């Protein structure tokens, strides 16, 4: 299994904007067939080094990760939205034992 994690720092990190980003990410559920798990969280500490929203996606393998990156809904709807609203993002992809 592969865990794909992305942390987003939003241009507008108001509660409403964070909730909207969370809902956009969660909208992949049932629309992106490669997903084996999906969770999204909103930061509550708001420290200087905090990011605002975290996405965690579980995928079967590296081929599924590549297919996820090319998926029409993910690549055509979710990614463009997140690119518009983010100030910065970081990603980590790990193999789970």
> Quick one: fold of 2-95?
Alpha-Beta Plaits (3.30.70)
Closest listed residue to residue 42, CA positions, set 31, 34, 51, 32: 51
pLDDT tens by residue, 27-78: 999 999 999 999 999 999 999 999 999 999 999 999 999 999 999 999 999 9
Tell me the pTM.
0.95
Sequence ranges of the domains in the chain? 2-95
79: confidence class by pLDDT, cuts 50, 70, 90? very high
What pLDDT does residue 11 have?
Answer: 98
Closest listed residue to residue 33, CA positions, set 67, 2, 4: 67
What pLDDT does residue 97 have?
Answer: 83
């Amino acid at each position: 299994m592969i865990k794909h994690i992305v942390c987003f720092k939003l241009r507008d990190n108001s509660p409403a904007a964070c909730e909207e980003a969370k809902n956009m990410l969660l909208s992949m559920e049932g629309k992106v067939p490669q997903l084996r798990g999906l969770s999204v969280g909103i930061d509550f500490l708001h420290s200087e080094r905090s990011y605002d929203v975290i996405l965690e996606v579980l995928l079967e393998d590296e081929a599924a990760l590549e297919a996820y990156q090319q998926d029409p809904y993910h690549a055509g709807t979710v990614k463009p939205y997140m690119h518009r609203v983010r100030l910065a993002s970081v990603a980590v992809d790990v193999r789970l034992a």
